[in-house]
Amino acid sequence: MPTALITGATAGIGAEFARQLAARGTDLVIVARDAERLAATAQSLHDEFGVHVEALPADLLAAEGLAAVDRRVADVDRPIDLLVNNAGYGIRGELDENAFDVEKQHLDIHVTVPLQLTQTALRGMLARGQGRIVLIASVAAFTPRGTYSAAKAWAVMFARGANIVYRSRGVSVTAVCPGFVRTEFHDRMKVSTTGIPEFLWLRAPQLVRLALRGIDRGRSVVIPTVRYRVIAGLARVLPDRVGAAGQFRSRD
């Protein structure tokens, strides 16, 4: 059985990746901070799909947590065939308003953590001649909307470059760029989404199904749905001021 390691696997997009991969018969290593919720998720996936699910509780922003996950990715006796770098979150406020540590941790979870895990996974996959690496980016990568967009833009460019270098050696690297998805993401940010039109919202099952189709084909960038591909295309040519419009409002 192939094995996939998914970070941020107990909610939202990560949880749906776990479900759909388990339905394919893929064994799982799921990573999240909440050990109790993680164990419950692992048991549920095993009971429903009959696959082996390893729960690995870890705070990826803590050195020991990241090191533990990195060691698991590097384990040659239990190789990872698919790495899904999904863990992440958004922050409110502009750069001048936020503490540096808040911005640094935000950058670390979206850039430093996937960079380290990807490098480790890549070395093992290249030695075996096959593997897939996924970074969950965002359509925000194509718009000038603060440090979140900047971090997601890194994921897109990183995947494009890495896929050029490594796909011919059997390892594909894909950035998945969702739009608005019905998950816990915005609630955790404590921002209002009332102004977002209903037609822009995606459901996680649809998003992951479309994402896996592109991942299976070894694409470097996957933007699920035609409407979001159009939006991403327009964002590349519209003036920055237009692309940056519509920032979220706090619910506080």
Residue 58: how many CB atoms within 10 A of its CB? 21
Model confidence band, residue 196 (pLDDT cutoffs 50, 70, 90): low
Q: CA 149, 216, 186 angle in degrees (round to 5)?
A: 30
Local confidence band at 188 (pLDDT 50, 70, 90 cut-offs): low
In this prediction, residue 229 carries a pLDDT of 78
Task: State the pLDDT at residue 193.
Answer: 53
Does domain 3-250 match CATH 3.40.50.880?
no
pLDDT interval class at 250 (50, 70, 90): very low
The pLDDT value recorded for residue 248 is 44
**How much is the pLDDT for 204?**
86
Average pLDDT, the chain: 88
Range scoring the smallest mean pLDDT among 66-80, 177-191, 204-218, 228-242: 177-191
Q: Which stretches does DSSP call E strand in 72-112?
A: 82-85
Q: Dihedral sign, CA of 34, 37, 39, 41?
A: negative
d(CA 241, CA 252): 26
Please report, for the chain, the start and end positions of each structural domain, with discontinuous segments joined by +: 3-250
Give the whole-angstrom CA distance, residue 123 versus residue 149: 28
Q: Which residues are catalytic?
A: 148
pLDDT at 232: 73
Q: Confidence class of residue 241 from pLDDT cuts 50, 70 and 90? A: low
pLDDT digits (tens, 9 = 90+) for 118-175: 999 999 999 999 999 999 999 989 887 789 999 999 999 999 999 999 999 999 999 9
pLDDT by residue (tens digit) across 46-99? 999 999 999 999 999 999 999 999 999 999 999 999 999 999 998 888 899 999
